[in-house]
Amino acid sequence: MEFVLQKSDNKTKARAGKLTTDHGEIQTPVFMPVGTLGSVKGVHMKDMEEEVKASIILGNTYHLYLRPGLEVLKGAGGLHRFNSWKRPILTDSGGFQVFSLSHRRKLSEEGAEFQSHIDGSRHFFSPEGVVDIQRTIGADIIMAFDECTPYPSTVQEAKHSLKFTKRWTQEAMDYLREHPPLHGYPQYFFGIAQGGMHRDLRKEAIEQLIDLNPDAYALGGLSVGEPTDIMYEIADYSTDFLPKDRARYVMGVGTPWNLLELILKGVDMFDCVMPTRNARNGMLFTSQGVLHYKAARYAQMIEEAIDPHCDCYTCRHFSKAYLRHLFNAKEILALSLSSIHNLHFYLRLMEQAREKIENDSFESWAHEQIQVLQQKAP
Amino acid sequence: MEFVLQKSDNKTKARAGKLTTDHGEIQTPVFMPVGTLGSVKGVHMKDMEEEVKASIILGNTYHLYLRPGLEVLKGAGGLHRFNSWKRPILTDSGGFQVFSLSHRRKLSEEGAEFQSHIDGSRHFFSPEGVVDIQRTIGADIIMAFDECTPYPSTVQEAKHSLKFTKRWTQEAMDYLREHPPLHGYPQYFFGIAQGGMHRDLRKEAIEQLIDLNPDAYALGGLSVGEPTDIMYEIADYSTDFLPKDRARYVMGVGTPWNLLELILKGVDMFDCVMPTRNARNGMLFTSQGVLHYKAARYAQMIEEAIDPHCDCYTCRHFSKAYLRHLFNAKEILALSLSSIHNLHFYLRLMEQAREKIENDSFESWAHEQIQVLQQKAP
């Protein structure tokens, strides 16, 4: 997989780069909107292209495996043809979801047995099996099946999941090498480094991964309940050991200011349900800080857009008062308009970060934004 | 208000015409999608313009009066500026909603006292007050405040609501004449003829209305529980007495085949929540009949659009299998995609009806469609 490191910031570890897949190029830093079940909740694919301008979206292997299931996805010729998304797709491995099922799953060296959260039916995910599911889905980027180390975890526990993850990653890569893509385009493979909040184990995990030489590197097991400072510190520590000529991906993070902090620490790729989930709950991210539709003062703000500096569809056409009204009246359009805005905001923030990295003004801008974006919006 | 009757069918009472408002022209027969609370549920305004191609939408006076309320609508400069819909808007009078509140309203010659369905607060709608609300909303077309005669009703009951409706219509028209529009463009006034299912009273109601000379005529109190044949019969009977040079509107109807039947009987305008409400429940209207997403056979229909002859956004991009999956997984996008399709289908049907009327082939086409559209879709 081609990853070109186009610019390294001269003051921080921030980077600007470019990933190339058969479905298109991805400029980094990049935020990848989550399309759990093959749709980004509440947002039309055409709006994902034209308004959000996403260059890649995620699909969740666990969810897609259960619904619509492999038979349908195979029949459709992969997820791209099923959901009509023309640009790249990354699928997670299902590892995180399966391990989140806690009492409904049983782990062994071979993989994980689990019960569906929908109907309780029993299933088994092996490293090879998960690669096969992702081959059927036709993801441009396949994630390794890993064991997500919980927080907190003892050194012993973290070592244990490291052992499984290492073995599974090897097996997945071997399997992928021996089984050509089903849909005629290459599928790239990202390894995942675990290690909990233990520096030594993070380093060990990364070194093991480097031996396997995946197309890019993800840091898993972050944003799992640890204090934010520890997350930043572990990411900062870890990126020092990652090869410069490969992309780095922190999974499942986070707020806009989390993203900027992690870019400062040398991370290139992000995904999170936060922009869409929070949008559906009426929480909007703006260039002036965070707002919640419920604030009574918005009822009369008939001229002001959610974000005066935003040029998304929502902000171009509608006021705070209108959006508040739609939420109040439980109109489903509120969910869609808010999701479009939040996603556009995340994507635009990554675009700006890139511009700032390119002209060596990232550090001061990022630190300022990290303050501003957390404020309460007017 | 300019209404041009452009073509009368040579075999039936069907008509093709054109209404002109400051926000644009409306070609008839026309279906007007319902935007109860200032949004057409689940459909972006841009999709209402570009995909559904609606030439006019409805707003509900009762609902908009309660939420967002007159203060906000006044501040916004009317509903067009609030919801960013640039084309014409028609508002009902709230009469139907108020009378539906049954035990929560009290009627007098002066108007109706009622309790909000949201918080139980008490309000009063008078004929003049309702005109004032619609002036604030800035509707291009204002409907008279009427008493909707229930079904069944005795001659005595129907006479009673006729008496109220006549008086209120007169008062509303007087008030509107004396109070200029608030937003700088003309607001037209449609009278409503009631009369239950009693022919004599329908005729009487229409004759009374003709004396008042409203911009157009609506038939109210249809589709309120009576057998469909009776609805058709009353509409057929009524249009014989309506002036040919004014538009005719049957409120709150109906299925696609209801619309075709009523066009045959000389009706020009329609509105109904059915295309959007049924869409949200997974029921789709197609050129091959009606389908419900739940049918198991759709799970594997990965090539077939909802309607193979439809060129709406949904049908251009997605399969029956994808839509079924979204409904199954309770993805909100299913509601939006289905609503776009159903509305597009209704609007396209009206467009086709117009073409057929223009070239004198409406009758046989309509009768064929009335059969086909009610079938179970493959």
* Strand pairing report for B105-108 and B289-292: unpaired
**Nearest Cα to Cα of residue A326 among B305, B274, B37:** B37
Task: Please indicate if any CB of chain A lies within 8 Å of the CB of B6.
Answer: no
Distance between CA atoms of A180 and B77, rounded to whole angstroms? Answer: 61
pLDDT at position B72 over 90: yes
Q: Which residue of A has its CA nearest to B42?
A: A333
**Mean pLDDT rounded to a whole number for chain A:** 97
- A125 CB contacts (<8 Å, ≥6 apart)? A62, A94, A95, A98, A111, A112, A114, A145
**pLDDT range class, residue A102, cuts 50, 70, 90:** confident
Please give the residue of chain B at the shortest CA–CA distance from A321. Answer: B72
Residue A20, pLDDT score: 98
User: pLDDT by residue (tens digit) across A305-322?
Assistant: 999 999 999 999 999 999
Interface size between A and B, measured as CB pairs under 8 A: 122
Nearest Cβ partner for B68 among A313, A317, A325: A325
Instruction: Find, among A309, A314, A270, the residue nearest to A47 by Cα.
Output: A314
Q: What angle do CA B329, B330, B332 make, to 5 degrees?
A: 125
Q: Which two tokens stand for residue A369?
A: 């934004």
Please say if the pLDDT value at position A278 is more than 90.
Answer: yes
Closest partner residue to B329 (CB to CB) among A67, A75, A331 is A67
CA distance B5 to chain A (A): 36
Average pLDDT over residues A290-307: 96
Under the banding of pLDDT at 50, 70 and 90, the label for residue B274 is: very high
d(CA A317, CA B27): 27
Instruction: Inform me whether the C-beta atom of residue B227 falls under 8 Å from chain A C-beta atoms.
Output: no
Residues of chain A with C-beta less than 8 angstroms from the C-beta of B317: 45-46, 84
Query: Is the pLDDT reported for residue B102 higher than 90?
Result: no
By C-alpha distance, the chain A residue nearest B321 is A72
Q: Shortest Cα distance from B82 to chain A (angstroms)?
A: 6
Written as six digits, the tokens of A60 are 């969740």
User: Which range is least confidently modeled, A126-130, A181-185, B147-151?
Assistant: B147-151
Q: What is the pLDDT of residue B195?
A: 96
Q: What is the pLDDT of residues B292-306, one digit of tens each?
A: 999 999 999 999 999
Distance from CA of B344 to the nearest CA of A (A): 16
- Name the H helices within chain A: 45-50, 61-66, 70-76, 79-83, 95-100, 127-137, 155-178, 199-212, 228-239, 256-264, 274-280, 313-317, 320-328, 333-358, 362-374
> Closest Cα of chain A to B157: distance in Å?
35
Sequence-distant (≥ 6) Cβ neighbours of residue A123 within 8 angstroms: A65, A66, A113, A114, A115, A116
Which residues, 6+ apart, have CB-to-CB distance to A34 below 8 Å? A40, A57, A58, A60, A271, A272, A273, A276
Looking at the complex, does the CB of residue A376 fall below 8 Å from at least one CB of chain B? no
* β-pairing verdict for B2-8 and B15-21: antiparallel
- So what's the pLDDT on residue A1? 86
ipTM over 0.85: yes
SS3 for A342?
A: helix
How far is A180 from B343, CA to CA, in rounded Å?
44
Q: What is the pLDDT of residues B116-172, one digit of tens each?
A: 999 999 999 999 999 999 999 999 999 999 999 999 999 999 999 999 999 999 999
Q: Is a pLDDT exceeding 90 seen at residue A118?
A: yes
Task: State yes or no: pLDDT of A100 exceeds 90.
Answer: no
* Mean pLDDT rounded to a whole number for chain B: 97
Confidence of residue B175 (pLDDT cuts 50, 70, 90): very high
Residue B134 and residue B141: Cα distance in Å, rounded?
Answer: 9
pLDDT at A104 over 90: no
**Residue A188 in this model has a pLDDT that exceeds 90:** yes
A271 is catalytic: yes
**Alpha-helical segments (H) within A84-154:** 95-100, 127-137
B271 is catalytic: yes
**β-pairing, A269-272 with A30-33?**
parallel
